[in-house]
Structure 1
């Protein structure tokens, strides 16, 4: 039986694919002005999809953006206003400066299509509740119609997500038409495993394995130096960092996502500022309070332009999130030394 390589966390898969695409690549391509090294038809499996963050100092992963993007998907949004606050470069992918197109995966997954009253996501959940061992729980995202739009700046990289309930566990298979291994893979896996876990919670199932297949797996030449630094760090370190990621609250519902995003908007627009004690008293459970803490950290960095984020907020974060923040922003550096 041929199966993709299995890793416990996304970090291992990320490093393995970077090595493959940079040191053993099959092709050197130029697509839409981007020169890249490429391998075709690769995949991996995560035995524990909750371990969705890499702890590599050189890579400087951004958990604030990753939580924001996952919530943006789960809410079914496509507006540029929210997501560009966390990633200003995404504006270049918007045709009208207001909404995103193909990359707004949540808009396709969590909203009913024209002429329907149920979203594709909810319809698949309904199927999995009633049909044991169904193979039909597929959520297509990429549409051939996207290619008919002249100079489309935002064609979906995600082909679709396949949900499979087996023996009390919810597994998911992700199919990507293409993946930028250095810039896109980490955010994609974070968001898609969050969608998988969210679906498992709605169905009352345990979290199963996550499998990720890529048609074109590539590393852009402009990022080659950073990729090499990341690989060198991984080769040279003696003791890799490991911080367990908690399970999503079993009480998570669509209303939970709405409430978290209400707090996110207040912080993003600087209409509120929260202390750790304030966040601890909010109408969301401890799991989602971590996301609000991250948004408060980013509010202080963006709006207050502080040299040091409030210590109480940093201390309330889980150790792995503090570690990542400390390696990304000087204002959080006092957390970076904590192991």
Structure 2
């Protein structure tokens, strides 16, 4: 018997957990001044981790940030210069105004430390290539829980990778999860890390399981949660935009090239048409991220109230739908459907 229920996409899991924490919460807590409704010890499974995006107009998910954060992790970075551009609120969690600590999960996973010459991520991949049915493919992340004045404590405890029957499965262990604000971005990034690992190992993508110690909804977000649940209850059918598989060419070199284009766009050094993006040194899968960054560059830097139609038309329809519901500058006639 499965201990974590299956959901077709992250959207179903998100709605089920919001409903649980809103109507059947176990505790009302005040941790570090944040009043919240809490359920202890919950989880879910995504048989297809690629369905990592929710399509809820009220929630206004930001796919630009989600791709930026996933790439920030995969590049092993911890700087605010990049991630703060996409999420200025994260600057308040920095002790020095330059870097982030516990929440820079990629810095912990993808960089060698303590005199080692191999990153924890690469060390686990090496293990999984050589040890059949290993149970030791665990990547610990949270290390600073006892630091009382830490502004940026890791919510992710660790990622556990399993190779079974030619597929790479992953179990994510969360110390705590803000169900309304953090869950969606976490699942997006962690399933991207899982798929990235599967590509490096030459394996099919397996299922993703998300386990949470403290699952909570902050009181300050209760009204938005109510609106999201109302939308889900009243709509005729969920939006469905199946997302493609990560390209086989994806690896450290591809991530480096993507980050170079991201920086050029973030600093408004270049501007790309859709045709120019199609001829960049990144494959079609990752061109979608570049198109998102170009759309955001136009929103942030250009004196315009409309993002270029060629850029929007070149986007995957699910990403275009999300942009149109996040920013009026990206809205098209199709977004009302």
- Which category of TM-score, normalised to the shorter sequence, fits these structures? over 0.9
Residue number in structure 2 paired with 1:121:
121
Moved over 2 A (4+): 147-150, 335-339
Residue number in structure 2 paired with 1:69:
69
Q: Secondary structure at the match of 1:90?
A: helix
Residue number in structure 2 paired with 1:277:
275
Q: Which runs of 5+ in 2 are unaligned?
A: none
Give 1:151 deviation, angstroms.
1.2
Residue number in structure 2 paired with 1:155:
153
Give 1:334 deviation, angstroms.
1.9
Residue number in structure 2 paired with 1:22:
22
Change (3 A) 1:276 1:2: closer
Q: Secondary structure at the match of 1:136?
A: coil
Q: Secondary structure at the match of 1:125?
A: helix
Matches within 5 A, 1:128-139: 128-139=128-139
Change (3 A) 1:152 1:305: farther
> Contact 1:314–1:335 at 8 Å: present in 2 too?
no
Q: Deviations over 1:167-222 (max 9, x none)?
A: 00000000000000000000000000000000000000000000000000000000
Matches within 5 A, 1:109-258: 109-143=109-143, 146-258=144-256
CA distance in 2: counterparts of 1:329 and 1:147, whole angstroms? 37
Residue number in structure 2 paired with 1:96:
96
Residue number in structure 1 paired with 2:105:
105
CA distance in 2: counterparts of 1:148 and 1:214, whole angstroms? 19
> Contact 1:327–1:336 at 8 Å: present in 2 too?
no
Q: Deviations over 1:42-74 (max 9, x none)?
A: 000001000000000000000000000000000
TM value normalised by structure 2: 0.99
Change (3 A) 1:215 1:241: same
CA distance in 1: counterparts of 2:51 and 2:272, whole angstroms? 28
Q: Deviations over 1:253-298 (max 9, x none)?
A: 1100000010000000000000000000000000000000000000
> Contact 1:323–1:335 at 8 Å: present in 2 too?
no
Q: Secondary structure at the match of 2:172?
A: strand
CA distance in 1: counterparts of 2:326 and 2:336, whole angstroms? 14
CA distance in 1: counterparts of 2:215 and 2:146, whole angstroms? 24
Residue number in structure 2 paired with 1:264:
262
Change (3 A) 1:252 1:65: same
Q: Secondary structure at the match of 1:337?
A: helix
CA distance in 2: counterparts of 1:115 and 1:254, whole angstroms? 21
Residue number in structure 2 paired with 1:293:
291
Q: Secondary structure at the match of 1:50?
A: coil
CA distance in 2: counterparts of 1:149 and 1:275, whole angstroms? 47
TM value normalised by structure 1: 0.98
CA distance in 1: counterparts of 2:303 and 2:48, whole angstroms? 37
CA distance in 2: counterparts of 1:60 and 1:336, whole angstroms? 16
CA distance in 1: counterparts of 2:312 and 2:259, whole angstroms? 20
Q: Which runs of 5+ in 1 are unaligned?
A: none
